[in-house]
Amino acid sequence: MIYILAPIGIGKTSLAKILAHDLHTKAFLEKPEKIPLLNSFYENGNISREMKAFAVQIEFLDYRYEQLLEGMFLKQEGMNNTVYDSSLISDGIMSRNLYNRGEFPEVLYKDYLRLNNVMQRNVAGHPFMGPDLIVYLEAPFERMLSNISLRGRKMETNDPKLKEYYHSVWQIYQDWYNSYGDTPTMKIDMKNIDFVNNKTDQNSVLDAVEDELVNLGKLTKKEVDKLKQRRHQ
């Protein structure tokens, strides 16, 4: 399993699609319409975030767990290296940010953490040791804001005060990356990379990720050489 982690709007979904296509595997993508409370979570700044934090995170928890169950089943059936643009890890980061901001009541936050941890430790009776690789996308805060604006989701752009909230999201991901060490992790600096519109950049990112999968024993060098040859033709 490969997790793509990054703050909002950095390119997680795009990379998950590109990587899954190249590896001939499945991409598990976040679909905002599957989280009914998400619009109301954004609608009234810190007031609605505090009111909806627990309920929204429980909706995400249920959704992610279903994806994780399917991913574990596919792995048992021989489909390795499934790709996820969001995960229980990223949900935990976002929840921690809300708690730090005083927007996730402590009692409810502790309940959420307990559920999140239980779900990550055991998936349908199978011990889960976490993803095989986390790909972390790092980008300047200004690029994050630009990308959020460009994708044009009304709930994410209708309040100018969201800029301060977004900065806290950006910062906590920086802090997470600098302190995390539970599973293999690699960083891609997005400052001067456009893997969506620039084929050279796309190939460079795919090469880096797939080389790391070789190092981890999740792909063979022969398999990756074939992938590279096909892409660079």
- Integer Cα distance of 27 and 20 in angstroms: 5
Q: Of the residues 22, 62, 85, 201, which is catalytic?
A: 85
The closest of 128, 137, 9, 15 to 71, measured between CA atoms, is 128
- Integer Cα distance of 159 and 161 in angstroms: 5
Question: Which residues, in sequence order, are bridge partners of residue 137?
Answer: 188
H or E stretch at 215: helix 199-215
CA dihedral 156, 162, 168, 174 (to 10 degrees): 40
Q: Say whether 85 is catalytic.
A: yes
Catalytic annotation, residues:
85
